[in-house]
Structure 1
Amino acid sequence: MKFRYLGNSGLKISEITYGNWLTHGSQIENDVATECVHAALDAGITTFDTADVYANTVAEQVLGDALRGQRRESLEIFTKVYFPTGPSGPNDTGLSRKHIMESVNASLKRLQTDYVDLYQAHRFDYETPLEETMQAFADVVRSGKALYIGVSEWTAEQLRAGHALAKELGFQLISNQPQYNMLWRVIEPEVVPASEELGISQIVWSPIAQGALTGKYLPGEPFPEGSRASDSEGGAWFIERYLNEDILEAVQKLKPIAEDHDLTLAQLAIAWVLQNPNVASALVGASRPGQIASNVAAAGVTLDSAAMESIDAVVGHLAQDDPALTTSPEERLT
């Protein structure tokens, strides 16, 4: 495992972060989830990412149980706040001071820890003054309940505004967690340049495009049984954008590039996002322990310029790079 600094801070995280968005508390049983977490630890992963909204708080509880007994100082535990939890009352969502303070306390209890290393705004909240949100985050840091603050899916303009307030309030905004992969590059035109300017790193989710870049979805053929695309409750709605014939045919053409580097297609996809110097870590999940070792093999891989150009020649024209697609919900979900 390789490690990178997170933003303009002294915090190092593993190049591969284990995330439990669609798995813990929903897709897989708790004992399998624990096995996956332990496999991640065995593979050298030290960074674990979750959110209070995942499985309506259950994912945090499962991760806390799975990490019980580990040396806390050897881990980086991340969670998030914004989306509705509990009965979805009027204050059970958003980035108000009330919701942030109540949520961080609840998350710490479920995760069975006194602090999280990174507390993230899961989306931008248009309905709460940014000053209120950032003051609440400053107080969370000063109370010792979070060491650093990050965000997820914020635009370049939002990052600049949040960073300026954080600096004024005496704490660091060090990360953004956007979707990013060979087919979804909307952060490249604006978010990455702003982040480089501000000292903010990306922790990217969906590096294998929800499985579309693994090559298991073949053009003109039914989706494999048990795959995400065939599971209406496990994220099928999210992978749909990647499953048109042009993309599926292009993905198959990536195989020779992967083979030339002794990589699987999934490893190639993860290695590709890690070539971006503004990316600190790639988030990966797992529904079985064996997937972990395979994903970790992408850490430390260097793709030369010829390989990157070859990848672009195959899928670059199919990639979405409109920065306007970096958005948060206009209204809180209640």
Structure 2
Amino acid sequence: MPVETAYDPKDMLFRHLGPTGLKVSVFSLGGWLTYGGTQKGDIVKQILQKAWDHGVNTFDTAEVYANGESEVEMGRALKELGWPRDEYVLTTKVFFGTGRKEPNTRGLSRKHVVEGLKSSLKRLEQPYVDVVFAHRPDYATPMKEIVEGFTQVIRNLNLAYYWGTSEWTAAQITEATHIAERYNLIAPVVEQPQYNAFHRERFEVEYAPLFNQFEYGTTIWSPLASGLLTGKYNNGIPEDSRFATNKAFFENTVNELQSEAGKAKIEKVKKLSEVAERLGGNVAQLSLAWALKNPNVSTVILGATKVEQLEDNFKALEIYKKIDDKVLEEIEKILDNKPKPAPTYNRESWGSLSLDNPKVFAAALKNNKPHPQTLELDLVDWPHMRKALGYRNDAERVHGLPARDYIDKMVLGLDIRSPQITVPNLHTLVLSHVPMNTTLVQAIDFEVLRSLTIMSCPHWYIFVLAVEWRQVPVKLKKLEIQESWPRLVQQPMLNTVIQRRFS
């Protein structure tokens, strides 16, 4: 369970934002589709004040929300409310711009990261934000430039304290983190993904390595599935609902709601309502509390157009305290959509590799086969390896080297003090349970390698994508990927890369 702190007299819980020391309320307030759009003026200030009165200290917006007007409304309200700046956390996002069509007014080029954030701060009437998010990945900008841009606004311009991602893939987040470590830049610390009882796979499975490896934080949006988990759509679409007032935006969602799959979801909402009533609440409160039960959720972003909505949502904290393992099991039976976890390996030993001295394995491999033609490597217990190496996360150093570099060199059986790791004559490579990343691409001569087997290897997709990004010549005759996450059938982009580069 996450470490939570309560501050009197407000009945609110706080969690650390990922690996940082920043404490955020488990409920935060967002401005999407509301402030600057459907709501302006005093009502915005009233909603913010109600959230503040209940202990909320975190407020989220973005440059694209209402084409910048959300930031204007939130900034005006914060200024008029006059809260001490060191008591609240303010976040915004750059990528989409504010509707302008000029070529550099959107994306994640260093120019737009800097200029976009400066424009956001003017609208917010703030000297800085606590967190700035990359609102989407930018496939047209090199990852190194993206990381450099966010490092600049934090380290050089003092416009933010942290940066994060929103709807990035685990591979992209991992790449950004590794680039930051390699070039002494600032890594992202938090993701803003969609997560609710009907939208689980990416958060619970794809992001699992990020939580374990980087302690990555999350600020989740749409915890009520755009209102579906409130029960308001059980008998049709009310005229004052978001589905009715934002028909164009929610067209696909409305169509799905009217399908057989949508009707099945409504039946599940009705059954969840019975559980909620037994706990003394409603289905919306139960759904929010369910999301909070996931220890990898740092904060749940709420949206509200009325003060009464917030009052109702905050009662989820009482439901949260009542949800035990038995209730969670009951909810799982109703939802019947728990994602299949990625393969994990946590055995008590890893064969010839000693928990007492993992360097023994490296030395033995190096001495016996300094330049092997065939290498079969099975490391079935990655968590124990990390523990044996004596470091908590990838930011810590081992013998003056980044811990990840040390492990890469140890895995390949090479001197950890060597500035380069190469296996020039490798013809056949079989990897099982080996954490893979871009460093391995540098180590292998793909013009020599003819057979590659990857079995249950964390982060294998980073390895494959690195071959593509670096345009490495490949002459493989055999490639097998078995029981590795993500599964190829769920990754069309990876399928395309493999067919183009490895076939």
TM-score with structure 2 setting the length: 0.62
The answer on 1:296 being equivalent to 2:304 is no
Q: Given the alignment, which residue of 226, 229, 249 partners 1:213? A: 229
1:257-281 Cα offsets, whole Å, 9 max, x none, are: 1122222211111111111111101
Instruction: Name which of 57, 62, 66 aligns with 1:46.
Output: 57
Q: CA deviation at 1:144?
A: 1.1
Please state how far the C-alpha of 1:90 moved relative to its aligned partner: 1.0
Pick the aligned partner of 1:19 from 25, 30, 39.
Answer: 30
Q: 63, 71, 79: which one pairs with 2:92?
A: 79
Which runs of structure 2 are paired with 1:21-36 in the superposition (5 Å)? 21-36=32-47
Distance 1:234 1:44 in 2: 35
Secondary structure, aligned partner of 2:122: helix
Summarize deviations over 1:260-319 as a string: whole Å, max 9, x none: 222221111111111111110101110111111221222372321111111111122398
Deviations 1:100-159 (A, max 9, x none): 111111111111111110010001100000100100100111121100011001111111
Q: State the number of aligned residues.
A: 325
Q: Per chain length, whose mean CA-contact separation is higher, i.e. which structure has more relative contact order (CA < 8 Å, sep 6+)?
A: 1
Q: Name the residue aligned to 2:214.
A: 198
Which residue of structure 1 aligns with residue 130 of structure 2? 117
CA contact (8 A) 1:209 1:239 kept: no
**Letter of the structure 2 residue corresponding to residue 56 of structure 1:** N
Partner of 1:179: 194
Match of 1:160 among 174, 181, 184: 174
How far apart in 2 are the matches of 1:245 and 1:325?
28
Return the index of the structure with the highest Cα Rg. Answer: 2
Kept in 2: contact 1:23–1:287 (CA 8 A): yes
3-state SS of paired residue (2:69): helix
Aligned to 1:249, which of 264, 267, 272? Answer: 267
Identify which range, 240-249 or 92-101, moves more after superposition: 240-249
Counterpart-to-counterpart distance in 1, 2:290 and 2:17: 18
Deviates more, 1:279-288 or 1:22-31: 22-31
Question: SS where residue 279 of structure 1 aligns?
Answer: coil
Offset of residue 201 of structure 1:
1.1
Tell whether the 8 Å contact from 1:121 to 1:152 is kept in structure 2 after alignment: yes
Alignment of 1:254-269 (within 5 A): 254-269=272-287
In structure 1, the residue matched to 2:500 is none
Of 28-37 and 235-244, deviating more is 235-244
Kept in 2, the 8 Å contact 1:15–1:299? The answer is no
What residue number does 1:283 align with?
A: 301
Shift of 1:171: 2.3
Partner of 2:118: 105
Superposition deviation, residue 239 in structure 1: 3.7
Taking the aligned partners of 1:45 and 1:153, their CA distance within structure 2 comes to 24
Match of 2:164 in 1: 150
Distance 1:29 1:108, change over 3 A: closer
Displacement of 1:225 after TM fit? Answer: 1.9
Tell me whether 284-293 or 191-200 shows the greater mean CA deviation: 191-200
Q: For residues 42-66 of structure 1, give each alpha carbon's deviation from its aligned partner in whole angstroms, at most 9, with x where no partner exists.
A: 1110100000000000000100011
Shift of 1:31: 2.0
For 1:50 and 1:128, how far apart are their aligned partners in 2?
24
Equivalent of 2:331 in 289, 311, 316? 311
- SS of residue paired to 1:226: coil
Post-superposition shift, 1:192?
A: 2.8
8 Å CA contact 1:38–1:66 kept in 2: the answer is: no
User: CA separation of 1:78/1:320 partners in 2, compared to 1, >3 Å: closer, same or farther?
Assistant: farther
SS of 1:103's equivalent in the other structure is helix
CA distance in 1, matches of 2:491, 2:77: 35
Give per-residue Cα distances to partners, 1:3-52, cap 9 Å, x unaligned: 00001110010000100100011112322122111111111101000000
Query: How far, CA to CA, are the matches of 1:124 and 1:326 in structure 2?
Result: 17
Q: Which of residues 122, 135, 144 in structure 1 aligns to 2:148?
A: 135
Q: Which amino acid aligns with 2:159?
A: K
Moved more, 264-273 or 165-174: 165-174
Q: Distance in 2 between matches of 1:285 and 1:234?
A: 19
Shift of 1:234: 7.5
Runs of 4+ in 1 over 3 A off after TM superposition: 232-235, 317-327
For the 8 Å contact 2:40–2:73, the answer to whether it is kept is no
- 2:252 and 2:24 map into 1 onto residues whose CA distance is 27
Letter in 1 for 2:170: A
SS in 1 for 2:29: strand
Task: Pick closer, same or farther for the CA change 1:175–1:326 going to 2, 3 Å.
Answer: farther
**Any conservation in 2 of the 1:196–1:278 contact (CA below 8 Å)?**
no
8 Å CA contact retained: 2:57, 2:88: yes
Local SS of the residue matching 2:43 = helix
Classify the secondary structure of the residue corresponding to 1:202: strand
For residues 74 and 324 of structure 2, the distance between their equivalents in structure 1, rounded to whole angstroms, comes to: 36
Instruction: Indicate the SS of the match to 1:193.
Output: helix
Q: 1:146 to 1:14 in 2, by over 3 A?
A: same
